[in-house]
A and B are shown apart, each in its own frame.
Chain A
Amino acid sequence: MSVWRRNAAMYKRTWKWNILPNFFEPVFYLFSIGVGVGAYISQMGGTSYLGFIAPGLVCVAAMNGASFEVTYNIYVRLVFEKTYDAMLTTPIEPDDILAGELLWAATRSCIYGGCFFLVLMLFGLTPLPSSLWVLLLIPLTGFLFAAIGMVFSLRIPNIDMFSFYFTLFLTPLFLFSDVFFPLKERLTGGWLWLAEALPLLHPVRLARASFRGEFSLTVLWDLAYILGMSLILLLWARRGVRDRLTN
């Protein structure tokens, strides 16, 4: 299984820093919304508005890092470069490829999430030591979104479908997953239950709990959601990889 991690490490040298943009994205949001809009909001949930959105944006950075890897990059390797066809002429099997790609996507989410966390730290926005829990949360978030993207990428008929994935899935998640405002205070009843299905909501709540140093039963539910959902998607992606690569 670990065969392929080494190859992922090789890619790091190649794809180097050309995807820096999606690391900057949350940084820009941090300053525009956090500092700009935040100036009109005196307090949010007991902290400054900047402090309120910071933990959520860490998760967004992790989500972006993983998502780009398992969408466009995977698809190009799968369809255009035929990378996987070549790998399958060696002792590597489809499961190894899946494992390697998911781990690599999670690694990238760590690079983005980690760098963003450092930025927050420099601005004194990370209450220590409790916020360090987030460093464990980043790879989990990355893995979850790697698995989601992988399932999607393996089943779409052409590369244009990714624009749907980004504008109709990731962007709304970004806007409505507690990052900028607590859903609990804007939604009621059934809608609130429905919102629990949003995959980004759980990492964001966990990150915020960690920044605040709070523990509640919700933390356990959020963790269970992330792990359970990752597992289900992993199994689904496994079937997808086999169907797609060996026919």
Chain B
Amino acid sequence: MVVETRELSKKFGDRAVVDQVDLDIPSGVCFGVLGPNGAGKTTTLRMIYGVTQPTSGTIHVFGMDITKNLRAVRSRLGVTLQQNVLIEALSPKENLQVFGRYHLLREPELSRRADQLIDFLELRSHAEVPVRQLSGGFQRRLSIALSLINAPELLILDEPTTGLDPAVRLALWSRVRELREAGTTVLITTHYMDEAQRLCDEVAIIAAGKVIGSGSPAELIASRLAPEAVELDCTPSEEARLFDGLGPERRLRVGRRLMLYVQDAAGLIARIRRQDEGDRRPVIVRPTNLEDVFLSLTGTRLETNP
């Protein structure tokens, strides 16, 4: 295991932000930690790379106890924080060189590595331009390049694609896949379920500091919900009329939107049409995805997290 936590907990005052979390991240996988805002994802990551001290529990990274081998562990991992941390007056290349020095890299290795990463993340066209003139997508790619400067065995990405346009997201995903294929273990947090489903071999869903579901995305979906999802708009009273007799565990409501999970959508749609008596309301049928699982586990009310 590259990362192994046991009964990991963190309290700020009386509030348990992370509560008895067990994670096992094998070598060479892309592992997703999913959860709503404020679920304890970032705190969990901070404990894994040793900046936050756990209140209780153990963490081993590369088989070493992080609290005792801080420098040794950190020299072998890379972290992209939620916020880009760049020196705005310097160019991407200079930023990479400054950051490489934190890892005690020296010339000529330092410049060689910086050059490689500039190509890998397609920064070449702006390699010499001050960072403050770069777009958000460029800055984000540079941030990820920084965390790769020491050729880490474990790459930790904290919400890497928040606020990026679709093209940049796709490009980043393919880079992450390449890294994983080259043997890097990737630990990623996100609240985009499509990202997790496309990218991650395994995920753990965290809410209010606890792991409430884990496994591969396909396993999670299969074990929690029926394979087909039907979406439509309806009021609670219509819902009672239309779906009388259908178990509440198969339904999920977000405002006016109702989602139903069934083995075969055809029967359900026929039933809706029959009840509606000729009034053809719009209905969407799609495969059940990780977002459905996420919502069914974490709930859909915004105030569920105190």
Do A and B originate from a single complex?
yes
Give residues in A with beta carbon < 8 Å to B. 3-4, 6-7, 10-11, 13-15, 81-83, 85-93, 245-247
Known: A91-B75, A247-B52. A81 touches B102 (CB 8 A): no
B4-53 interface (Cβ within 8 A of A): 12, 49, 51-53
B67-111 interface (Cβ within 8 A of A): 70-71, 74-75, 77-79, 81, 83, 85, 87, 89-90, 94, 98-99, 101-104
Q: Are B85 and A91 in contact (CB under 8 A)?
A: no
Cα A11 to Cα B104 with chains together (Å) = 17
Q: Are B70 and A93 in contact (CB under 8 A)?
A: yes
B184 CB within 8 Å of chain A? no
Known: A14-B89, A90-B74. A3 touches B104 (CB 8 A): yes
Of all chain A residues, which has the CB nearest B146?
A86
Cα A213 to Cα B147 with chains together (Å) = 54
Cα A131 to Cα B241 with chains together (Å) = 95
Q: Are B74 and A89 in contact (CB under 8 A)?
A: yes
Cα A81 to Cα B83 with chains together (Å) = 8
Q: Are A246 and B90 in contact (CB under 8 A)?
A: no
Query: What residues of chain A lie closer than 8 Å to B102, measured between beta carbons?
Result: 3-4, 7, 87, 90-92
Cα A7 to Cα B94 with chains together (Å) = 11
Query: What residues of chain B lie closer than 8 Å to A247, measured between beta carbons?
Result: 12, 52-53
Number of chain B interface residues as a range: 20 to 34
Q: List 30 A-B contacts (CB under 8 A).
A: A3-B101, A7-B98, A7-B101, A7-B102, A10-B87, A10-B90, A10-B98, A14-B87, A15-B89, A81-B85, A82-B81, A85-B81, A86-B81, A86-B99, A86-B146, A87-B102, A88-B49, A89-B78, A89-B81, A89-B156, A90-B74, A90-B103, A90-B150, A91-B70, A91-B75, A91-B102, A245-B51, A246-B51, A246-B53, A247-B53
Cα A246 to Cα B53 with chains together (Å) = 7
Query: What residues of chain A lie closer than 8 Å to B103, measured between beta carbons?
Result: 90-91
Closest chain B CB from A98 CB (angstroms) = 15
Of all chain A residues, which has the CB nearest B53?
A246
Known: A82-B81, A93-B70. A88 touches B89 (CB 8 A): no
Q: Which of A4, A86, A246 has the most chain B CB within a 10 Å cutoff?
A: A86
Cα A71 to Cα B89 with chains together (Å) = 20
Cα A91 to Cα B75 with chains together (Å) = 6
Cα A87 to Cα B146 with chains together (Å) = 11
Of all chain A residues, which has the CB nearest B12?
A247
Of all chain A residues, which has the CB nearest B43?
A247
Q: Are A89 and B49 in contact (CB under 8 A)?
A: yes
Query: What residues of chain B lie closer than 8 Å to A246, measured between beta carbons?
Result: 51-53
Closest chain A CB from B93 CB (angstroms) = 12
Closest chain B CB from A103 CB (angstroms) = 15
Q: Are A82 and B83 in contact (CB under 8 A)?
A: yes
Cα A87 to Cα B51 with chains together (Å) = 10
Query: What residues of chain B lie closer than 8 Å to A11, measured between beta carbons?
Result: 87
